[in-house]
Structures are given as structure tokens and as C-alpha cells.
């Protein structure tokens, strides 16, 4: 089976057909999903989905876009949610200097706090980083994030970020971007990443892979990411499927 290691099944764009898209993915061979918290509300929704479906795992955390909204009570609530059945990681958290929806100094402070909370909870970390490579790596090193490990989700950085992430003991997760015509550099990097350190994801409903680009993404399409990685590594799709499934199970301690 395949595992979609990062999707947002709680998103309102699935409100009309959520159970149908879950079933389509299952029919397409996606045996497990990890649905991601991005703030307190979506973390609650992710946990609710994990408690409803045994083949869905959840994460909790606050995305860098949303950290300006963190209130005094949020960390206590996230700490409690993180102990719920089905929660396998803390995130997605990190830094985003492209949009700067939250001030950079706030992003850095909240990123440190959340890495510390992930370490307290002994949960691997899901990293979002965009145009913030140096600060992301610096904070992860200073906060000893390697103690719990994690994954750089939807990896789209350069060769140096890939090396730094791997050196920290993190995994790299690839999404539909690697199927885009203009993603030549990313495909070149993906070829160099050891197969035992790769995950696959959709980041649904975003980043829809070719041949469905322009439509709403959904977990069933994770197969196109795995097939592109198989092509890049000169392996069979089954080999990539087996490897990425085992990697995801190992990182998130999924039975």
C-alpha cells in the first residue's frame, strides 16, 4: 500500500465529499493517511478524523502563517490534543519568509516554542520552510530537534537544505511539485536522496500533480508522486511504494 504522509482532509473544500475522496484513495491503494493540524481548530479536526477512521493518523501544531494568532491557552490545549489516540507527530511548524503572514520575529519565537513542545511530547516534527533555510536549520540545531527527528514536508529547497536536513536525521517528503515541468532542479535533488529517507505526500488539496494539475488535489493522487520518484531512481513503482510506506511507518511509529 501507499501512505499519504501529509494531507489536509479536514479542509472545507472536502466538506461536500470527504468520505468519497477517502474511499477513492483507499480504492487506489492508499492504505493510510496522515492529516495535518495547522492551528488549534484544524488540529482538533485532524484528531477527530483519526478517531473516526483507524487508517487515518493526525498531527497537531501551528503553521507559521498562523502563529500570530497563538493565545496563552493554545499550548495547553495542543499538549492535551497531542496525547489523543492517533496523533503521530507535531506540526506542521516552521518558518515562511515568502508570504510573511506572521511577523518573522514571531515566527522564530513560536517555532522554538513548538520544537520544545514536540521534544517534551516525544513526537517527531513536521517542518514547513520557505525562503528561510538558514534560520530553520539554526533553530532546529539549537533546540536539539534531532532528538525527536521528523520530516521536511513538501521538500522544495536546494541541495544544501537537503543535505542539512538529512544530516539532522530528518526525512524529506516529496509532493506533486516533482511532476511539474519547471521542477528540474527539484527532480535532480530527489535523485540524490537515499530511498530510506524519502516520504511521499499530496499536501491535498494543494499542489495537484500532473496529470491532474489545475484540479483539486486528493490523496488518491499520491501514486503519481511515487511513480515519478520511481522513474528518477530507476526503480519499480512497487519498490518506491514499499520503501516509502516503511519509512513513514518508522518515522511516525504507525503499526
Percent of the chain residues topping a pLDDT of 70: 100
Domain span at residue 97 reads: 2-252
The three state secondary structure string of 185-247 is HHHHHHHHCCHHHEEECCCCCCCCCCCCCCCCCCHHHHHHHHHHHHHHHCCCHHHHHHHHHHH
pLDDT tens digits along 95-133: 999 999 999 999 999 999 999 999 999 999 999 999 999
Percent of the chain residues topping a pLDDT of 90: 99
**Per-residue model confidence (pLDDT) at position 163:** 97
Burial class (CB in 10 A: 0-12, 13-18, 19+), 112: middle
In our burial notation (b when 16+ CB lie closer than 10 A, e otherwise), range 115-135 reads bebbbebebbbbbbbbebbeb
Secondary-structure breakdown of the chain: helix, strand, coil percentages, each rounded to the nearest 5: 50, 15, 35
Say which CATH number the domain at 104 has.
3.20.20.140
Domain count, the chain: 1
Q: Output the average pLDDT for the chain.
A: 98
Q: How much is the pTM?
A: 0.97
**Per-residue model confidence (pLDDT) at position 6:** 98
pLDDT tens digits along 63-97: 999 999 999 899 999 999 999 999 999 999 999 99
**Per-residue model confidence (pLDDT) at position 255:** 87
Amino acid at each position: 500500500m501507499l501512505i499519504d504522509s501529509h494531507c489536509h482532509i479536514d479542509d472545507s473544500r472536502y466538506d461536500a465529499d470527504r468520505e468519497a475522496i477517502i474511499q477513492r484513495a483507499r480504492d487506489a491503494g492508499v492504505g493510510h493517511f496522515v492529516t495535518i493540524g495547522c492551528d488549534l481548530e484544524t488540529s482538533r479536526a485532524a484528531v477527530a478524523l483519526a478517531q473516526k477512521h483507524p487508517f487515518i493518523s493526525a498531527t497537531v501544531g501551528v503553521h507559521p502563517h498562523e502563529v500570530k494568532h497563538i493565545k496563552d491557552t493554545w499550548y495547553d490545549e495542543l499538549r492535551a490534543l497531542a496525547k489523543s489516540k492517533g496523533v503521530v507527530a507535531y506540526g506542521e511548524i516552521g518558518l515562511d519568509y515568502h508570504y510573511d503572514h506572521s511577523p518573522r520575529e514571531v515566527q522564530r519565537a513560536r517555532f522554538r516554542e513548538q520544537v520544545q513542545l514536540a521534544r517534551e511530547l516525544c513526537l517527531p516534527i513536521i517542518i514547513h520552510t520557505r525562503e528561510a533555510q538558514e534560520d530553520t536549520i539554526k533553530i532546529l540545531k539549537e533546540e536539539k530537534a534531532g532528538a525527536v527527528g521528523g520530516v521536511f514536508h513538501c521538500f522544495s529547497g536546494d541541495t544544501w537544505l537537503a543535505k542539512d536536513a538529512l544530516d539532522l536525521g530528518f526525512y524529506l517528503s516529496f509532493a506533486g511539485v516533482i511532476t511539474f515541468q519547471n521542477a528540474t532542479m527539484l527532480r535532480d535533488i530527489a535523485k540524490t536522496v537515499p530511498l530510506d529517507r524519502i516520504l511521499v505526500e499530496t499536501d491535498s488539496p494543494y499542489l495537484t500533480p500532473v496529470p491532474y494539475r489545475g484540479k483539486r488535489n486528493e490523496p488518491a493522487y499520491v501514486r503519481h508522486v511515487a511513480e515519478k520518484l520511481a522513474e528518477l531512481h530507476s526503480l519499480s513503482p512497487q519498490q518506491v511504494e514499499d520503501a516509502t510506506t516503511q519509512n513513514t511507518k518508522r518515522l511516525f511509529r504507525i503499526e
